[in-house]
Structure 1
């Protein structure tokens, strides 16, 4: 078959998405993203709404000591209809009266609750308080009978912001027409809990004294995030920090869309050029976010591969959504070693870029600062810095549309510096070490694509004064991903798509020192498979099955959940929050990662 008509998984779906809605093409033109209008069967609109959810550990007040609450305050109630390209919904923020009641804040939880009815794409949205982002999330895709969902995020670390008057802003760009009728109705609520008695000694460092947003300022007709549009685009903001700062952590929010929504599936440009596939996203299958201060690399983010609620096959994410889709992760970079360069009272440039980026990445950050209240001035110096660059290799082998390209990457960043304050002279070392492997295979004249990828990210912090170790901690995250998609040849106006997705998060964290010992282990694995039959740009039949196992064990408690669904119906749901070994469900808690099993699942599809 000629190259121009040989790859329905690339070209046919690209055309299909472009036809869905002209104004939505910029946000929906990738081959793996589908609209919520694609119903396998239209349910009775008189049925009760369906509750969607992301599996996560419930947020509870810290153990030890009596805790009162919640003290709940509605921050904003909004309706998001034709909101694309319009200003965010805003509301004045006044600190709740209970914050000045004398009790010590134990926990702060931001809750987003929403409903929608009709048809609609998934939509990315953000919540900001005084310019600092508190939540990045994706909407659920509605049904004619309606859906409900909520997202809760622990925002205790933003205590400094919560205690000051400001402005809440929510941007959710939505489109309404005769076909896409879904209007999102949402409430944003803050729940506060307080220590009824003097709190126990902290096992971790207290929240920052000041949070400085690195984002765009209102008024806007978009979110307050920066939009990174290509590999050379660097977005930044100049700011100065207080002269009595003794610690600084950069918290980075990241999401990827349009041509880079599925960046880990993108073929290299030479494959696209050789097969005359104009319009197909390229630049290969590797991306990283680089954080810079005054042009100098201070850290990196190799992001988790979030799949939004319309991704691959939307029937997979109903009612269990993809990992991270309702509560996108943020990433911390400790820049304390660089304070010696920042304590001069001058403005400094904080910037972000994305390696190999295509349009578009949304990025902003919050700079968390700890201040020395016993001194007007701290001093410091950068002792060493190693950000030697990215080691990236791509090996490609193709015959026509079929073949394989294998991408590997490595990066190491480390910095050491000292800061002298009323706490003494403290030396901090922060390091990051990343590795990346991606195998991207095209078969059957480009109609089958198989992605097998692993991101391995380690970071560590070592803090000491002249006599002892104050803190020594490490975080190790592994993000495995397996994605199979196969598309039949188009016959008339009809074709079919099969898909298998397995991905997750394996994470271990440890810390020790004068602030106490902390340990946690998280294994969060999701396996989803499904089929869709598409006719005249509508899914006329389909299947989605999802199984997820979540297991958390830590010094702050335990949580286990094993849940499975099939086309909106929960097949089973088992959970436990005890720390006994028998609480974790035996063999059902394992999602086997074996090629033979994957071949069997694909065959069944």
Structure 2
């Protein structure tokens, strides 16, 4: 068989601590279109009647949304007050004139809040460059800055960020606590513990964060697991959106401002890039806004360690919350936006066999929501609940003469549910489970076997997609595709793969149950 370079996880077993194994540098550039928050298209329907009369004549206005039915009901006094505020025109106008004016306002609002941006500014290193446009974060104190300036007629802004981790932090979720490394004199072993956080600041103030999905590249942990089914995200790195709209009032002054990027507990190296999506008011040359509430609570970290020599257990838990509220006044009216991010993290790590066996059971919960109050008092909101579970088992068995057997189990998942007012709900469950073994001699894979199973299920209500595929020994064994939406929701997808794997049942360490 073809010999492959082996890319070892961060744990260096005591009996192989003198080994220097190459690290796979997968430089992946991903151009991914991320669906941004759309605002429902409101359109008045004057043809509807109530008791044989136009809705406006009865004091009722009924509007339809592309995502659902929205009803407005106003008394005569309320209509007059609304007219004085410009939503229905002057109160002396006829009902039909009021109707036409309101319809035009709604059409203007709808045309302004389309899901695509009018302008995208690259937030990357400045040209000319000889080694790429991405920023490189080398350690936990390294903050990369980007100066930018936006048009003064922007009324919405979303920062789409991209992160990719390599070298000493490629397997950050299995990195050991520094106290363990120091106590056992494991020099050269990647440390700083298993928690990482990407933080975004604007002019020195934290505006959002990303707790990234654990992408495993095609040479990672055991390269035989990822042929021909690669790990989730390895060829299509995920991007993450941070709502900047509440902060527009601080950067609409026509002056230059700075985004800052840093990674908590980082080791070299993290590649970082971003796009700033801007929505522009074509009816105005200048908008205005104000940030009137912002909260970025400090990171809460808990580490419980219990180890003796090279064996031990470690439990790491962290949480963070970031919220901001601000308004922007444009030709579409005064629109208030509130953004909330909530993060929860847990990592249970076990080391046995004098450090030659490692088990990692990790879960990241990443919730974010955006609430938009329109001039009509109608509220749009979109909430995303993400869960990134990971289970990793590695066992090194020495064979002598620089040779060892590596046994691995990996479960990982990307789970997301989206819901909100004015939007259709959707859910995505992308789950993988893999098991393999390989013999490594002088950093080369000389024999081995890997098997992987993946279940992908997307449910958008009207559009659905399902695929279940499994492979072993570089060969597809099973592949089923479906596109029907099942009324009965599947809340649990557990992998039962022992009958497919020719080298026996899974290890006696329970993997994640994806819930």
Give TM class, smaller chain. Answer: 0.7 to 0.9
Out of 532, 537, 541, the residue aligned to residue 443 of structure 2 is 537
- Aligned partner of 1:296 in structure 2 is 205
- Aligned partner of 2:237 in structure 1 is 328
Q: How many residues align?
A: 422
- Aligned partner of 1:251 in structure 2 is 160
**Rounded Cα–Cα distance in structure 2 between residues aligned with 1:432 and 1:565:** 38
**Rounded Cα–Cα distance in structure 2 between residues aligned with 1:14 and 1:323:** 32
- Displacement of 1:587 in angstroms is 12
What residue ranges of structure 2 are gaps of 5+ in the alignment?
1-10, 37-109, 510-515
**Rounded Cα–Cα distance in structure 1 between residues aligned with 2:385 and 2:330:** 31
Out of 274, 279, 287, the residue aligned to residue 183 of structure 2 is 274
**Rounded Cα–Cα distance in structure 2 between residues aligned with 1:313 and 1:533:** 10
- Aligned partner of 1:353 in structure 2 is 262
Query: CA 1:10–1:350 in 2, change beyond 3 Å: closer, same or farther?
Result: farther
- Aligned partner of 1:284 in structure 2 is 193
Paired residue secondary structure (2:235):
coil
- Aligned partner of 1:116 in structure 2 is none
**Rounded Cα–Cα distance in structure 1 between residues aligned with 2:353 and 2:143:** 39
- Displacement of 1:14 in angstroms is 7.3
**Rounded Cα–Cα distance in structure 2 between residues aligned with 1:338 and 1:252:** 17
Out of 15, 18, 38, the residue aligned to residue 19 of structure 2 is 15
Query: CA 1:316–1:256 in 2, change beyond 3 Å: closer, same or farther?
Result: same
User: Does structure 1 residue 601 correspond to structure 2 residue 506?
Assistant: yes
What residue ranges of structure 1 are gaps of 5+ in the alignment?
1-6, 19-27, 29-120, 127-133, 136-152, 158-200
User: Does structure 1 residue 123 correspond to structure 2 residue 26?
Assistant: yes
Paired residue secondary structure (2:250):
helix
The equivalences for 1:167-566 within 5 A come to 205-513=114-422, 517-555=423-461, 557-566=463-472
- Displacement of 1:125 in angstroms is 2.5
Query: CA 1:425–1:286 in 2, change beyond 3 Å: closer, same or farther?
Result: same
- Aligned partner of 2:81 in structure 1 is none
The runs of at least 4 aligned residues of structure 1 exceeding 3 Å deviation read 7-11, 153-157, 201-205, 586-590
Range moving further from structure 2, 384-393 or 460-469? 460-469
Could you tell me whether the CA contact under 8 Å between 1:562 and 1:588 is conserved in 2? no
Root mean square deviation, CA, Å: 2.6
- Displacement of 1:313 in angstroms is 0.4
Bigger Rg, which one: 2
TM-score by length of 2: 0.78
Query: CA 1:11–1:331 in 2, change beyond 3 Å: closer, same or farther?
Result: farther
Could you tell me whether the CA contact under 8 Å between 2:207 and 2:296 is conserved in 1? yes
Paired residue secondary structure (2:420):
strand
Q: Deviations over 1:536-587 (max 9, x none)?
A: 33222101000111111013510000110002100000011122459x9x99
Could you tell me whether the CA contact under 8 Å between 2:25 and 2:167 is conserved in 1? no
**Rounded Cα–Cα distance in structure 2 between residues aligned with 1:14 and 1:326:** 33
The equivalences for 1:82-161 within 5 A come to 123-126=26-29, 135=31, 153-154=32-33
**Rounded Cα–Cα distance in structure 1 between residues aligned with 2:364 and 2:325:** 25
Could you tell me whether the CA contact under 8 Å between 2:462 and 2:485 is conserved in 1? no
Query: CA 1:562–1:13 in 2, change beyond 3 Å: closer, same or farther?
Result: farther
- Displacement of 1:221 in angstroms is 2.1
Could you tell me whether the CA contact under 8 Å between 1:457 and 1:478 is conserved in 2? yes
Query: CA 1:283–1:588 in 2, change beyond 3 Å: closer, same or farther?
Result: closer
- Aligned partner of 1:591 in structure 2 is 495
Could you tell me whether the CA contact under 8 Å between 2:392 and 2:410 is conserved in 1? yes
Could you tell me whether the CA contact under 8 Å between 1:122 and 1:309 is conserved in 2? no
